[in-house]
Amino acid sequence: MAKGGRLTQRDIARLAGVSQATVSLALNRRGDSSARIPEETRRRVLQVILDTGYVADPVARQLAGRRNQLLGVFTYEMVFPTGQADFYMPFMLGIEATAERLGLDLLLFTSAPVIEGRRRIFHENNRLRLADGCILLGRTLDRDELTRLVGDRYPFVAIGRRDDAGGPVPYVGADYATATVALVRRAVALGHRRLAYVGFGRGAESSDDRWAGFSRAVAETGLQAMHEPSQGRDPVELLEALLAAGVTAALVEDLADAAALEQAGRQRGLSIPRDLSLAALGNPTRPTASDVAFTSFRIPREEMGAQAVEVLTLVMDGKPEGRQRLLPCEPVEGDTLGPAPGGRRTGKSKGPRS
Residue-by-residue DSSP string for 30-50:
STTGGGGS-HHHHHHHHHHHH
The crossing angle, in degrees rounded to 10, of helices 235-244 and 255-267 is 80
| pLDDT tens column, 170-188 | 999 999 999 999 999 999 9
CATH node for 70-169+302-329:
3.40.50.2300
Where along the chain do its domains lie? 3-62, 70-169+302-329, 176-295+333-353
CA proximity to 162, closest of 304, 283, 300, 303: 304
Do 70-169+302-329 and 176-295+333-353 have matching folds?
yes
- Closest by Cα among 211, 189, 183, 207 to 334: 183
pLDDT at 2: 52
For the cut 70, the answer to whether the pLDDT of residue 35 exceeds it is no
Average confidence (pLDDT) over 78-96: 80
CB 178 within 8 A of CB 328: yes
- Cβ neighbors of 196 (< 8 A, separation 6 or more) are 225, 226, 227, 228, 242, 245, 247, 249, 250, 251
Which overall architecture, per CATH, does domain 176-295+333-353 show? 3-Layer(aba) Sandwich (3.40)
Which pLDDT score is estimated for 344?
A: 44
User: 112: pLDDT confidence band, cut at 50, 70 and 90?
Assistant: confident
**Segment 282-302, tens digit of pLDDT:** 988 877 778 899 999 999 999
* Inter-residue contact 214 to 251 (CB < 8 Å): yes
Closest to 335 in 3D by CA, of 282, 287, 279 = 279
Q: Give the CATH superfamily of 3-62.
A: lambda repressor-like DNA-binding domains (1.10.260.40)
Coarse DSSP helix, strand, coil percentages of the chain, rounded to the nearest 5 percent: 40, 15, 45
The answer for residues whose C-beta is within 8 angstroms of residue 283's C-beta and 6 or more apart is: 87, 255, 296, 298, 299, 301
